[in-house]
Amino acid sequence: MAGRRRRSRRRTALLRLAVLVPVLVAGTTIADLGAQAVPVPSVVIEDNSVGSGVSQISYFGDWTACVGCSPSTPNGRYARTADASSGAVLRFSGTQVDIYGVLAPNGGIATISVDGGTPTAVNTYSATPSVARIYQSALLNPGIHTAVLVNVGWREPASGGIQITFDRAQVFVEQSGGNPGNRSGQPWFSGANGDPVQNAANVDAFCDRRGSPCDLAHVFVSRNNWQNIVQPSWTQANFANWPGRLVISVPPFPENSGSTLTACAAGAYDGYWRTFGQTLNTTGRQNSIIRIAWEANGDWYQWSGSNPSAYIGCWRHIADSINATSDPDPLLDWTINAHYSQNPSSHNPLDLYPGDNWVDIIGIDAYDHYPPSRTQAEFNNQANAIGGVTWLYNFARAHNKLFGIGEWGVVSGRDENGAGDNPNYIRFMRDWMEQRAGQGLYYENYYSTCEPPNVGSNLYRPTDDHCLFINNAAALLYTDLWSSP
């Protein structure tokens, strides 16, 4: 049941803490362990959602899968261990978590802690086997959390063993009214790029104009050499002490350097990416979202996925290397370009998916072109088609992954395939997001630019010799929809 390998310092410390917690007295009921759940369920994490990413569980010690065992569970299986000091680490994004297990005549006592807090002892003995909620966390601040379950090797006198089980976890999010953990007040993390220069002043200026602060700043490292990609550079320096989080788009290797996906997949660049993980530590940006080798389903980057196995192997090596040094791990984002995929040869971007054990967020860059969405019917058609935002979101949900929209915007600049200053697209995207708030939608960044030959998505920057496009109608509606609730 191993997932991708991460360092276990936090797990070891929590294990030492857990074994010191007093046992609950015999007769304590599951209902005594928490208050009522918050009203909106988000994600179910099953026992076989194995890995160390968000919405996954990783096991340590001696666990076995009990398939088709009694009592029955929603997915027909659960994980169990009768080994003292075995345990599991669960990562989730939300404001509360319920953990379910099997109560049984041989049930033992476990401890469960969240984010390194005081462990709670849970007695899983019952004279009659049943599946039940064994733990409910307190209300948590919105964000990524870690729950640790440990078999402490104890049992009450009536129990015939020390078995501990994990069936599933139910994650909850806030129902409505914005997210108090977000500066923007939106129900998801909301941000923008810095235009025309990637710095905090330009990000803040964009968000001041829309009427709500940015939670995120989308930045791109320079792609000309390894030092600018993996070591501290102007990318981090320009946002030193900025209170929001960074979304950092990184190429797998420097452009025009002779580097290849094949060499990356063989581990040739692992050392550089371990350095990048250390850079996140030294700059205090471990909570960043890292978009690795984005838009590989196109044909405009040197890492385009014409060779899926090389791309996937490269992506996995980068992910493992970053997670080997960054502490805690950042969120790793696999992003495609919306609509038609030039690569791979199947024209299905999912053939480039690195796999659940390596990905935390599945994302898309969705602009109003190829095809444009002037009407709701046009938006629905492109969103549901292969490569569309709804199509990819459904894939993310099926894999218990968070979903992100790393770039989106109207298109006035590139060619006749854009719908121009189209406020309808702003409305359609906002409606789409609101329908999925609290259901896996984690973040979005509006991408505003007006220099040719880019997409011409600019909302606020005045036109001049270098800024040729502005979308006043789209800006007016965007401001109305994104201003502080």
Tens digits of per-residue pLDDT, 101-123? 999 999 999 999 999 999 999 99
Contact status, residue 402 vs residue 361, Cβ threshold 8 Å: yes
- 433 vs 3, higher pLDDT: 433
Among the listed residues 407, 416, 444, 451, the single catalytic one is: 407
Lowest-pLDDT range, 30-44, 114-128, 360-374?
A: 30-44
Strand partners, 107: 163
Convert 62-74 to b/e letters by CB count within 10 Å (16 or more is b): ebeebeeeeeebe
Q: What is the pLDDT of residue 255?
A: 97
Give the pLDDT score at 452: 87
Nearest to 427 by CA among 450, 410, 449, 413: 410
* Most distant CA pair in the chain, distance: 82
Please report where in the chains the tokens 């980068």 appear, as a residue. 318
Q: What pLDDT, on a 0 to 100 scale, did the predictor assign at position 439?
A: 84
The SS3 call for residue 123 is strand
DSSP class of residue 55?
A: T
Tokens linked to 264: 């990356």
Q: Please, which pLDDT band fits residue 40 given cuts at 50, 70 and 90?
A: low
- Helices 308-325 & 270-282, crossing angle to 10 degrees? 40
Segment 91-110 shows an average pLDDT of 94
Each residue of 228-281: pLDDT tens digit? 999 999 999 999 999 999 999 999 999 999 999 999 999 999 999 999 999 999
Q: What percent of the chain clears pLDDT 70, i.e. is strictly above it?
A: 89
Q: Which of 101, 88, 90 is nearest to 45 (CA)?
A: 90
| Residue 451 is among the residues annotated as catalytic for this protein | no
Residue 200 sits at the vertex; the CA angle it makes with 363 and 315, to the nearest 5 degrees, is 30
What's the confidence (pLDDT) of residue 30? 31
Q: Does residue 17 have a pLDDT over 60?
A: no
- Does the annotation mark 295 as catalytic? yes
pLDDT above 80 (res 330): yes
Q: What is the pLDDT of residue 174?
A: 65
Residue from 46, 295, 378, 451 carrying the catalytic annotation: 295
Domains recognised in the chain with CATH numbers: 9-173 (2.60.120.260), 189-482 (3.20.20.80)
Higher pLDDT, 421 or 39: 421
Q: What confidence category does residue 43 fall into, taking pLDDT thresholds of 50, 70 and 90? A: confident
Q: Which of 321, 247, 230 is nearest to 288 (CA)?
A: 247
Closest CA to 101 of 87, 115, 117: 87
